[in-house]
Structure 1
Amino acid sequence: MANEVLKKGGEVGSEVSGETRSSDFEGMRFGVKAWRASASGVREGGSPAVPIVLVHGFAQQASTWDDTARLLADAGAECFGFELAGHGAGACSAGGDPAKRSDFFDLRFQARALLAFCRVVARDAGVAPVLVGYSMGGRVALQAACLAADDLRGGDQFGRISLRSSAAFAPCDRTGRLDVAGVGQRDTAATSAGDAVRMSAAVPFSALVLESAGLGPVDDAAREALRERNFAWAARVRDEGVSAFMDWWAGLPLFESQRNLDDDQRERLRAGRLANDTESLALSFERAGAHAMPSQGESIRALCELAAKGIPVSYLAGELDAKYCKVASTLQSESQGAISCCVVPAAGHSIHLERPEAFGAILEEVVESCTPKPAAP
């Protein structure tokens, strides 16, 4: 399937290392890495597993998924690492300069490109992929989920109103908790023929897995604080350059547990960070930072609506990552259990790097739950 989905965009490596390709969307060239499913991982009955689209974090590339993708490929799942604007193999545009096309870095633009790529994978595989986003990649995947939920609302009066704040569409009780009663219940009406067509057009993924991803600012004050922080970081990387900035970035408490990685892993992680250019990193902060996300209330409601339509949503946080364990707890509470939230033991912010086997096992379960069962003889 990889050859059908992707345009050749670089050297083609072995099945183990993955194939480097590209995907064009409205003038932007996104890098993609494909890992073929192992022949030994063919499922009983010969039915292929649902493919997986993996979206990396800030200053990383698709290769950050190598260990996880190999495990999943051995289990029979074809994987695609989608690289964000200005990251990895993708040029900023079909031949351009980041500063001249900063709109390519917009969170919504990248989310639309991700949805378009998932549709291509779904078309060629015959089944929608599982979408997995880590950190900044989770931010883009979450924005894609909000856009998909907007599309699902499409024809009715509720859907014609653009969501802008949780207050307008998620009434709160006296404790301030979002009122999502009934949202997490599977909507059996979605099984009708008309709804099935609408679902396939609006939601080109079978399941969504968010790893260590924020949910968006809780209010306007939080959004402004995030905007100021992200623009300050953009200025810092422009002033200091990539190498000095990444030395500081790697030393943040958020990444402390990465010091337990072996020397080779740490060196590959650093080399990947240093492979980025200054302006692309700065624009990623300014145009796709957490301040550009939908509000937390809107994000949670969109995820609950997808779950209600039969699209499983999972949230993963590492036990050593206090910040995102709190996010997982908030999501579990506000969604009233509609979203599956899991804290992975002995892992920090980068679960797929620190505990690839545990992370892979979770994804295998998600894939298994979404993979069509072979017809009875």
Structure 2
Amino acid sequence: MASEVLKKGGEVTSEVWGETRGFDFEGMRFGVKAWRASASNAREGGALSAPIVLVHGFAQQASTWDKVALSLSCAGVECFAFELAGHGKSAHPTVGDVPGRKAFDLVFQAQALLAFCEAVAHVAGRLPVLVGYSMGGRVALQAARLVADDLRDGGELSRISLRSSAAFAPCDRARRLDVAGACQRDVTANAARMSAAVPFSALVLESAGLGPADAASRGALRERNFAWAARVRGEGVSAFTDWWAGLPLFESQRNLPVDQRERLRAGRLANDTELLALSFERAGAHAMSSQGESIRTLCELAAKGIPVSYLAGELDVKYCKVASTLQAESQGAVSCRVAPAAGHNIHLEQPEVFASILKEVVESCTPKPVAP
């Protein structure tokens, strides 16, 4: 459970909490925030709910999930927010050398995310539901692609994380807990899937792109992302943030309460200019698999019994079209839903609706209690 994974060595006094820690992968520390499930709302019969791993969007951090995670934890579901390279409490690698820049690569971050999901599964005793929003959805989709490629080749996902440096630990690196040596609960219900190298029980993509449609589209996306990187370097985070918030994609967020908009802006301003630029250059949509390959990946996971869902807000015209395309191309294998009265960021604009949808997904992935 979250308290076992992330505790400081003493007793956890509150039933529901959010605490930031770190996860090490091949020399890079990724920030993690966890919310403990409320014991008073544990599932009837003692069955463990599938935990949830949440991945934020560009220029955000783990706190963007606070409302949703609190709602879920109060309902007995543990949540772990994974922070991408250069965001939140994740380490700021030296960006002038190759190893430092590698941390921002889409594939590297996807590998780290898979390692984290596996670590959560080993400690929590249930495979997590993987949820990615926007850029986080891009990383989650790349992770799914790595899994699908591995399954297609008939192999098992490399477990290098559990054989080497991966661990949960406080951000000051004190009192590290080695996940590989942690005591595990009964994972019988998940044994088949874990042996099949899929370290998550379901995949939920929120307002995420599916990749370039063709080579021309990839080139255009690359040109756009590198232009954005140049803009943030040239203008600085403050001016860039104001421009970014003014994009039509985020128009619906202008209706949020003033205090919520101010917190959102403060979170964006907390980022580093160069690290945001590297995120555009090395993990932008141009670095994704093609749209056709992404759809194939999602269909293959669904065929393996891994539920796949795609969510878009009804006010987000661009990603409603993505959902429509995915629904048609997957022939219904992927569950595509449109959230009412929400734009690009559903979990921010309609947190109760989003939490309700995730509860349904968790329920579908949680074994029913065995009758006495």
TM-score range, shorter chain: 0.7 to 0.9
Q: Distance in 1 between matches of 2:241 and 2:124?
A: 38
**AA at the equivalent of 2:118:** R
- Of the three residues 248, 256, 269, the one matched with 1:253 is 248
Unaligned ranges ≥5, structure 1: 157-192
CA distance in 1: counterparts of 2:42 and 2:276, whole angstroms = 40
**Counterpart secondary structure, 1:268:** helix
Which residue in the other structure is 2:113 paired with? 114
Displacement over 6 Å in runs of 4+: none
Q: Match for 1:297 among 292, 295, 314?
A: 292
Q: CA deviation at 1:313?
A: 0.1
Q: Is the 8 A contact 1:99 1:279 kept in 2?
A: no
Q: Could you give the per-residue CA deviations for residues 276-331 of structure 1, whole angstroms, max 9, x where no partner exists?
A: 00111000000000000000000000100000010000000000000000000000
User: How many Å apart are 1:16 and its aligned residue?
Assistant: 4.6
Q: 1:138: which partner in 2?
A: 137
Could you tell me how far apart the structure 1 residues matched to 2:28 and 2:146 are?
Answer: 20
Q: Is the contact made by 1:152 and 1:202 (CA closer than 8 Å) also made in structure 2?
A: yes
The structure 2 residue matched to 1:99, chosen from 89, 96, 101, is 96
CA deviation string 1:97-130 (max 9, x = no partner):
2333111000000000000000000011111000
Number of residue pairs aligned between Structure 1 and Structure 2: 335
CA spacing shift, 1:269–1:356, aligned 2, 3 Å: same
Q: Deviations over 1:202-222 (max 9, x none)?
A: 210000000000000010000
TM-score, normalized by length of structure 2? 0.87
Give the Cα–Cα distance (whole angstroms) in 2 for the partners of residues 77 and 359 of structure 1. Answer: 14
Shift of 1:372: 1.3
- Aligned-pair CA distance for 1:90: 1.2
- Aligned residue runs from structure 1 range 166-245, under 5 A: 197=192, 200-245=195-240
TM-score, normalization by structure 1 = 0.85
Secondary structure of residue in 2 paired with 1:361: helix
Cα distance between partner residues in 1 of 2:111 and 2:230: 27
C-alpha distance in structure 1 between counterparts of 2:87 and 2:242, whole Å: 18
Specify the alignment match of 1:28 in structure 2.
Answer: 28
User: How much has 1:263 moved relative to structure 2?
Assistant: 1.4
Corresponding residue number in structure 2 for 1:357: 352
The answer for the alignment partner of 1:265 in structure 2 is: 260
Q: Deviations over 1:218-263 (max 9, x none)?
A: 1000000000000000000001100110000000000000011111
SS at match of 1:98: coil
Aligned-pair distance for 1:7? 8.2
Matched letter for residue 368 of structure 1: E
**Could you tell me whether the CA contact under 8 Å between 2:2 and 2:124 is conserved in 1?**
no
> How far apart are residue 13 of structure 1 and its match?
10
Match of residue 330 from structure 2: 335
Report if aligned partners of 2:16, 2:37 keep a CA contact under 8 Å in 1. no
Instruction: Write the letter of the residue equivalent to 1:323.
Output: K
Q: Provide the residue aligned with 1:70 in structure 2.
A: 70
- Whether the 8 Å contact between 1:86 and 1:98 is mirrored in structure 2 is no
- The amino acid across from 2:133 in the alignment is Y
Identify the residue that residue 270 of structure 2 maps to in structure 1. 275
Distance in 2, matches of 1:7 and 1:286, equals 36
Q: Secondary structure at the match of 2:203?
A: strand
Residue identity opposite 2:125 in structure 1: G
**Shift of residue 264 of structure 1?**
1.6
- Superposed displacement of residue 4, structure 1: 3.9
In structure 2, C-alpha distance between the alignment counterparts of 1:254 and 1:13, rounded to whole Å: 41
Partner of 1:336: helix, strand, or coil?
coil
Describe the shift of the 1:246–1:355 C-alpha distance in structure 2 as closer, same or farther (beyond 3 A): same
Q: Is the 8 A contact 2:17 2:36 kept in 1?
A: no
Supply the RMSD in Å over aligned alpha carbons.
2.0
Structure 2 distance, partners of 1:144, 1:13, is 35
Query: SS of the counterpart of 1:112?
Result: helix
